[in-house]
Each structure stands twice: as structure tokens, then as C-alpha cells.
Chains A and B, each alone.
Chain A
Amino acid sequence: MISFSRSLQVRRLNRLRFFGFIALLTFLLLSVIVVENLLVSTLVAFVISYLLSPIVNNLERRGFDRFWSTLWTFMIAGILIGLIVFLILPNFSTALLTLQKEAPKYINGFSRLIEDLEIRGRRLLGPLFPLELKEYAVDSLTKHSENFFNEVPRFLKQTLTVMILGPFIAFFMIKDGRSLLRQAFNLVPNHIFETALSLQHQINHQIGHFVRARLLEALIVGLVTWIGLVMIRFPFSLLLALFAAITNLIPYIGPLIGMIPAVIIALVNGVSSFDLLLLFGVYAIAQVIDGAFLIPFFVARLVNLHPVTVILVIIAGAQFMGVLGMIISIPVASTLKVTLESIYRHLTESQV
């Protein structure tokens, strides 16, 4: 039989390993949060590695070395992105400059719309509920648009840092990620090793599928919106499609947010009811394609969160990290769900 001192020694060793592992995780998490741009760069690196690792695996399957498979994939992806940027950038910057020039026109137009709404509201509600919508809306819109254009240089600098750091981290994540993870797993105590390994595999699998599915979904929604807006000859089609694609990453409320700028532009320009209907049609088609084909086949099966949970999680994400929080809240919540489910199963179902 095993002596008491031996079992004590095993427990002490396991405790030491466990605290070592937790300390390593905490250190990594704190570094990512504290160091400027590292959190966003790491998130971008995760997204890149989830997108490119199937291609690297495919090349490796064809007999290429892991290093060369990773290098070739990054080089080809870099060339493709460069080409797309080269083709789109002139169009994009022209649209951005035009928008900057026409910003006062849209702000004034928007204030007129709000004023109109305020008058109608006063007529409906009477003097009991005084509405001060115009002042508030114009102030905040002017402030935000000024901030936006003033923040562009800082935003570009940050983006440039992330665009360099993100792929750099992603390259090593794909090439050496598995061996680094294996080394980190050496710190996991023996009695929870299998559970931890299984958990890591499940989370990795689920998040990988989720990221790929959501990005594919956003890309298709963006493309459909762009084609539709070009077809109805709507201004700023590229910018609006890009905005719709990004906001589509936020479940439920994202598509509505994505439509707002187009509706404001249409109302300020005083388009006809038919054109407004066409505009709604474009966004509706994109959402029908998304809801009827993309979500059921690619996304819904991946994260089984209740709609109420989804909304609560998005609100919490927005509170902590704004738009980025809204986008990453769902994968974070699903990771937590998988982790808690596995720990619960490990604690309750083991018939020891």
C-alpha cells in the first residue's frame, strides 16, 4: 500500500505544478493587457492563425516542411492582401476624402431630420415631455466626427503596429505554437492533465471554427451589400459595405447598426421612397442570405448560446471594451461555457 508521506509528496508536487501553470497563464494575460497594442495584436494573431493554419496543414500534408509551409502561406497571403489593398486603396481613400469634405452637409442634414422628428414628437407628446433631441444629437455627432477625423493619424499608427506585430506573432503561433503549448502543459499536474488537454483541444477546435465561420459570413455579407449598393448607384458603397461587414460580426444588433449610415445618407440626400426601398432591399437581401444560408450552415452549430445570453454577453462586452468587446464577447463566452462544462463533467461524472 502507498505510504502517507508518499501521497503527501505527490499532492505537494501537484499543487506546485498547478500554481506554476496558473502563474504562467496570469503572467501572459497581464502582459497582453498591460503592454500597449499587444492585446489587439494577439487577437489579430489568433484570427490570422485560425484562418491560415488549415492551409499550412494542407501544405504539410503534401509533404512540405512545417517552416516552409508556414512561410509560403504567409508570403502568398501577404501578396494577395497587398494586391487587394493596391486595387481598393485609391477608391477607398477617395471615398474617405469625399466623406470628410461632405461631413458638414451630412451633419446639417441629420440635424434637420432630428429637428423634424423633435417637432413631430412635441406635437404628439405635448409640453409635458419636452424633447431636446436636436441639440444633443448634433453636439455628439459633431464631437464624434471631429474626433474620428482627428483620431485618424493615431488610429493609422496603431493599425500599422498591429498589422506588423499581429502577423509576426501569428507566424510563430502557427510554426511553433504546438511545441510551446506542449511545454506549457508540462506544468499541468498529472491528475488533471487529460482533462486540461481535452479542454484545450475542444476550445481550440470550437474557436477556430467560430472565427473562420464569422469571417466568411462577414465577407459574404459585405460583398452582397457592396454589389447591391453599386447596382443601385448609392454613394460610398465600398465604405458602407465595409462598415456593414464589420458590424455584422456583432450578433443580432450588428446588422441594424451597419445600416444606419446608409439610411442617414439617403435621408439627407432626400432620395425618393422607391430608392429608399431599394436601399432597404439591398440590406434585407444581405441579411436573408446571412440568416437563411450562412448562419444555419456555418455559425449556429458552433456556439449553442441562448439568444438572451448572447444579448447579455454583448452588452457586457460593450461595457468593457466597446465595439471590440462586442465582437469578441461571443467567442469568449463560448470558451467559458466549454471550460465550465468540461470542469463540471470532470468533477461530477467521474465514477471514481
Chain B
Amino acid sequence: MTSFFWNNLFRKDSKEKSVLETLKQTHIFGNLNKRELNLVLQTIHVRNYTPGETVFSQGELGIGMYVILHGKVDVFARKPGFEEEGAQLVAQLFEGDFFGELSLVENQGRRTATAIAATETALIGFFKPDLTEILERQPQTGSKIVLRLAEVLGRRLKETSLRLTELKEENSKNMTRGPL
């Protein structure tokens, strides 16, 4: 039988440790030292969502990214021009995954998909004002985060370019084959 006394004593610590651990394992914050991570810990927002609750909706103005602390998030998107068809599930994200990071660098950027909590979910929100605060208070830490962020966005751009090239090649092959 576990002791009520000890359970209570460690509950807060383990929660904080869990946020810290999750941040440490997130690529964007992965190269920060303990002191720098503590600063991030002072600026982030932990938000709790019930199943079915919308984190953000497609087309809304976005100001930051989320890291999944616990739970699961479904990402839905509507194809441009096919809005009446309804949103399609495009991704399922789990503990440690992050999303919405493009909003950290975009000016008045809009969300390109809708994120909905699939289960009881806790998210770590990291927003543009938080990044600005870190850049103001500790520019070295801020630049480390921004560099990692640029790396992530670069990787996404590279993947998109590759996919686009593949689609173009596929398209041109179909064109040369001609109609059956």
C-alpha cells in the first residue's frame, strides 16, 4: 500500500519534472542547459483539455506552438477549395510531439489545420510573447531556440520541396503517358 503522505509530497515535483523532461526531449529545446530550461519553464503555459476540446481551428490567427505533455491530439484539415467536404484527419500526435511552431515566426499567421484533443490532454504552450520575453531577458537562450526552430522549419520545407518534386515527376509521367 502506498503512503498518502509521500504521495502528496512528491506529486508537484513529479509534475514539474515531467514538464522539464518533456521540454528536454523536444527538439526545439533539446540543446538548452538546466538554467536555460528553467527560464523556459518560467515562461511556458500548461493547458489542460478534455476529449473533443479544440486546441485551435483552421484559419484562426495563431501565436505559438504546443508540445504534448500527456494525451493525444488529432489534426484535421480541409482541402483548399473543398471546404464543404468537411475536414479530414491528417495526423495523430502523441506525448512529446509538437505542433503549430510556424506561428512562432509568422506575422499574423493563420492556422493551417484544426487540432482537437482526442483524450484527456495536457499541452505545453509556448507562444510568441514567451519567445520575445526569453530573447529580451536571455538573448543567448533565445537564439538557441530560434536556431532550432529554424532547423525544424527548414526540415519541413525540405520535406515539402521533395514531396512537390515527386508530385511534379508523377504528374509529368502521367502527361507523357497520355490519356488511356
Contact = CB atoms under 8 A, between A and B. Distances in A.
Interface in A28-76: 57, 60-61
Contacts of A345: 61
Interface in A193-246: 193-195, 197-198, 200-201
B59 A6 contact: no
Nearest to A11: B53
Interface string B48-69: 0111111111111111100000
Main secondary structure of the interface of A (DSSP, over half): helix
Contact of B64 (A60, A190, A194, A346): A194
Nearest to A54: B136
Contact of B133 (A178, A346, A350, A351): A178
A200 B61 CA distance: 15
Contacts of A178: 42-43, 133
B79 interface: no
A77 interface: no
Contact of B59 (A7, A57, A200, A351): A351
A185 B45 contact: yes
Given A60-B137, A178-B133, A190-B55, A346 B61 contact: yes
Nearest to B137: A60
A164 interface: no
Contact of A191 (B50, B54, B137): B54
B96 interface: no
A350 B61 contact: yes
Interface residues of B, number: 32
Interface string A1-40: 0110011011001000000000000000000000000000
B52 A350 contact: no
A352 interface: yes
A132 B100 CA distance: 72
B52 A10 contact: yes
B154 interface: no
Given A194-B62, A198-B63, A346-B61, A6 B51 contact: yes
Most buried by B among A179, A185, A201: A201
Q: Which 5 A-B pairs have the closest CB atoms?
A: A351-B59, A2-B52, A201-B129, A6-B52, A352-B57
28 contacts: A2-B116, A6-B51, A6-B52, A10-B52, A57-B137, A60-B138, A61-B137, A190-B47, A190-B49, A191-B54, A193-B125, A194-B60, A194-B61, A194-B64, A194-B127, A195-B61, A197-B127, A197-B129, A198-B127, A346-B61, A350-B57, A350-B59, A350-B60, A351-B59, A351-B60, A351-B110, A352-B57, A352-B60
Interface of B: 42-43, 45, 47, 49-64, 110, 116, 125, 127-129, 132-133, 136-139
